[in-house]
Amino acid sequence: MTEDSRFQVLRNDEDQYSLWPMDVEIPAGWHRTGQEGTEAECAAYVDEVWTDMRPRSLRERMEEGAGR
């Protein structure tokens, strides 16, 4: 990878994010977010949008438990 390498941001069903090279096939279970750019640009986007690192299933269980 070089400084000019292009990346995309992927998200899985648990709302976890990953930077992924544009020229590499997307693995099963991951989906494009539409964000593309340099590694630094994509990392900045992830830092902005991924504010709760807990997997979605854990957040939902915790919310259900709080409602009891």
pLDDT digits (tens, 9 = 90+) for 7-54: 999 999 999 999 999 999 999 999 999 999 999 999 999 999 999 988
Residues in the chain: 68
CA 47 to chain centre: 10
Q: Hey, CA dihedral for 31, 33, 39, 44, is it positive or negative?
A: negative
Query: Would you place residue 63 in the very low, low, confident or very high pLDDT band (cuts 50, 70, 90)?
Result: confident
pLDDT at 67: 67
pLDDT at 19: 98
Type of residue numbered 15: D
pLDDT at 64: 84
